[in-house]
């Protein structure tokens, strides 16, 4: 038994003539008769009897017609709700960004999207890495912005921007003798952060490397004079990203590169094998075109 057979039964009940019902369904009379016989076979009772003027419901047909119409009503209500939800998806996209990423890429690509596509609602939210992962996997968010490494068993992803790590150190600091800094070199060092983007990226990297960073100052300002002053006075070192520093007025500060393995890619991510809504596809296409034409960061 399927929905189509129930629809045929309901239509024949309405028309009471096989020829008229078949014409209204755009099928042959043989096709309609075959579907009704199949339904009767499944229910093991006759539903119609023929008359000189067409067909008439049997006692069993009278018994089930109310239930059939109720089923069809519920089914159509379900389809309408699905279509409404699909239409909402086509007009809205929800994006969750890992904390700190907005500080790197800025608001411009999102603002431009809203200008170009005013009929698509863009919802942005910032969360921790764990919350971002959960939101995408549970489909509370359509898209995410995350910093590599990305779990490719859980997500499909599109990298679009690479940030290279640097460390700001005083010229007299022991690390100033190195040509490049390893992540392990940060262990037990007094760390000062200028901007939330570097804080989240480096704290996560240190914890994955097996140690808790020793943070003496954390400023949400991208170019924090307090952080730079501590480095200038040789009271700490400042993990940051190349192109995100502004130290030209601090003569005693050097910018040293991190090892190549400590480069981060920022990616658009979405649930593995998920079919994106039209709105999400439009956003991804817009964003990738935007970053290809405009410099971001810094």
**pLDDT value at residue 298:** 45
Distance CA 53, CA 49 (A): 11
Distance CA 247, CA 245 (A): 6
Domains observed in the chain:
3-89 (1.10.10.10), 91-160+265-293 (3.40.190.10), 162-263 (3.40.190.290)
The Cα-based distances of 13 to 57, 84, 134, 135, 295 in angstroms read 7, 30, 50, 48, 67
Q: Which residues pair with 214 in a beta bridge?
A: 190
**pLDDT value at residue 81:** 81
* Segment 150-187, tens digit of pLDDT: 889 999 999 999 888 999 999 999 999 999 999 999 99
Q: Which residues contact 23 (CB under 8 A, 6 or more apart)?
A: none
Question: How big is the chain, counted in residues?
Answer: 298
Return the sign of the alpha-carbon dihedral for residues 99, 104, 106, 109. Answer: negative
H helices within the chain, ranges in order? Answer: 3-15, 18-25, 29-43, 59-90, 101-105, 108-116, 129-137, 196-208, 225-232, 278-293
Specify the long-range contacts of residues 59-67, CB closer than 8 Å, at least 24 apart: 61/13, 65/9, 65/10, 65/13
Largest CA distance in the chain: 108
Per-residue pLDDT of the chain (298 residues; tens, 9 = 90+): 899 999 999 999 999 999 999 999 999 999 999 999 999 999 999 999 999 989 999 999 999 999 999 999 999 889 888 877 766 656 889 999 988 788 888 899 999 999 999 989 999 999 988 899 999 999 999 999 998 888 899 999 999 998 889 999 999 999 999 999 999 999 999 999 987 778 888 998 899 899 999 999 988 776 678 889 999 999 999 999 887 777 888 889 999 998 866 778 899 999 999 989 889 999 999 999 999 998 775 4
Q: Is the pTM of this model over 0.85?
A: no
Around Cβ 285, how many Cβ atoms within 10 Å?
10
């Amino acid at each position: 038994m399927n929905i189509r057979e129930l629809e045929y039964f309901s239509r024949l009940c309405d028309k009471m003539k096989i020829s008229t019902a078949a014409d209204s369904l755009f099928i042959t009379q043989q096709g309609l008769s075959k579907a009704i016989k199949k339904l009767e076979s499944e229910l093991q009772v006759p539903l119609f009897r023929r008359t000189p003027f067409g067909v008439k419901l049997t006692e069993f047909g009278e018994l089930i017609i109310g239930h059939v119409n109720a089923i069809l009503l519920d089914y159509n209500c379900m389809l309408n709700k699905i279509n409404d939800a699909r239409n909402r998806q086509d007009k809205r996209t929800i994006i969750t960004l890992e904390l700190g990423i907005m500080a790197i890429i800025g608001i411009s690509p999102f603002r431009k999207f809203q200008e170009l596509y005013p009929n698509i609602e863009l919802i942005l939210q910032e969360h921790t890495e764990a919350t971002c992962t959960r939101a995408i996997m549970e489909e509370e968010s359509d898209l995410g912005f995350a910093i590599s490494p990305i779990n490719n068993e859980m997500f499909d992803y599109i990298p679009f921007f690479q940030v290279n790590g640097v460390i700001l150190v005083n010229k007299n600091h022991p690390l100033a003798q190195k040509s490049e800094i390893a992540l392990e070199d940060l262990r037990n060092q007094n760390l000062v952060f200028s901007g939330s983007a570097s804080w989240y990226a480096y704290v996560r990297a240190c914890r994955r490397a097996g140690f808790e960073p020793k943070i003496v100052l954390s400023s949400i300002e991208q170019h924090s004079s307090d952080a730079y002053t501590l480095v200038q006075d040789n009271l700490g070192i400042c993990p940051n990203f190349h192109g995100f520093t502004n130290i030209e007025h601090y003569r005693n500060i050097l910018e040293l590169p991190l090892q190549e393995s400590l480069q981060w890619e920022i990616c658009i991510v979405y649930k593995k094998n998920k079919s994106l809504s039209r709105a999400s596809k439009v956003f991804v296409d817009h964003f990738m075109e935007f970053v290809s034409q405009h410099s971001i960061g810094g």
